[in-house]
Amino acid sequence: MARPKTPEPRSEQLNISLTRAELDSIKKRAESVGMRPVHFGRLLLLQKSKNVESSTSEKSSLEKLIFVQLSRLGNNLNQMVRHLHATGDPLPADAEPLLKDIRQILTRAAK
């Protein structure tokens, strides 16, 4: 099954040059709120509010940890599916309960 099409795909790019210190600062700030630097940078550029960290720092440390772990899980799942598609191997039987749990978590998070 292919990834669903997004209504507005991000096809345009904005390339900026940063010093090493500026990039390190953005990476640290992104990590502190549980985001990837690219998503944090987009939020900084598009956010109308001046203080992004204060609005995102309201998340508890548990929520940040859950977000990071789900991101890692999604990355591993993506790698597994890419491997299965490349080799033509079937989905392992023990993966179905994991996928069911992931679907339940995503359904709860969407509410």
Count of structural domains within the chain: 2
Q: What is the DSSP string of the chain?
A: -PPPPPSS-----------HHHHHHHHHHHHHTT--HHHHHHHHHH-SSS-HHHHHTTS-HHHHHHHHHHHHHHHHHHHHHHHHHHHTPPPPTTHHHHHHHHHHHHHHHH-
Residues 108 and 66 in one domain: yes
Higher pLDDT, 17 or 46: 17
Residues 74 and 36 in one domain: no
pLDDT at 56: 53
Its pTM stands at 0.43
> What range defines the domain where residue 24 resides?
16-57
Residue 4 inside a domain? The answer is no
Residue 5 inside a domain? The answer is no
Residues 110 and 74 in one domain: yes
Residues 89 and 101 in one domain: yes
Residues 67 and 107 in one domain: yes
Instruction: Give 53's pLDDT tier (boundaries 50, 70, 90).
Output: low
pLDDT in tens, 54-109: 555 556 667 777 777 888 888 888 898 899 999 999 988 888 888 888 888 778 87
